[in-house]
Amino acid sequence: MSASGSAASASGAAASGGTIAANARAELEELLARKTQIDKSLQLLEQQIYAFEGSYLEDTQLYGNIIRGWDGYLSNRATNANDRQKRRFKDTDRLFSLSSCTSPMAAIMAEQSTQEDDDRLAKRRPKN
């Protein structure tokens, strides 16, 4: 009886191990699907922030904003075509987009910074 009992016990343990592995696999797939959903949601949110931020910086460039200060607001002169052309802002003014390490804008700026650092190091190296 002990031989058949241990065989049944071994097959029960194998079946139990199989269900544990199947449960773990199902949970992993569920978590990966959730991560993908969260990543897509984050990407959409960062695109919205980028668009709103650009609109804000463009609309407030003449009079002042949270990035540049409010000096232009005090002068409050009439705008002309030249002023409208000055509405351009720098990508480095994008405080909110650049604050997220996962935003595309932050990745672009980091790449540019790395390239500039590499260029500076190349200039410092003595030529043989």
The yes-or-no verdict on residue 125 having pLDDT over 90 is no
Global pTM? Answer: 0.60
Q: Is residue 90 part of a domain?
A: yes
Place 2 in a pLDDT band, splitting at 50, 70 and 90.
Answer: low
Query: Which sign does the torsion angle of CA 101, 107, 109, 112 carry?
Result: positive
Q: Is residue 53 in a domain?
A: yes
Kindly indicate the confidence band of residue 106, based on its pLDDT and cuts at 50, 70 and 90. Answer: confident
d(CA 20, CA 40): 30
Q: Does any domain span residue 65?
A: yes
| pLDDT, average across residues 107-127 | 74
Residue 20 falls inside a structural domain: no
Answer whether residue 112 is part of any domain.
yes
Confidence of residue 126 (pLDDT cuts 50, 70, 90): low
**Owning domain of residue 91:** 43-124
Residue 79: which pLDDT band, with cuts at 50, 70 and 90? Answer: low
The domain tally of the chain equals 1
Cα 37 versus chain centre, distance: 14
Distances (CA, A) of 25 to 17, 36, 39: 12, 16, 21
With respect to residue 13, please indicate whether it lies within any of the assigned structural domains.
no
14 within domain boundaries: no
Written as six digits, the tokens of 1 are 């009886």
3 occurs within a structural domain = no
Which position has the higher pLDDT, 78 or 120? Answer: 120
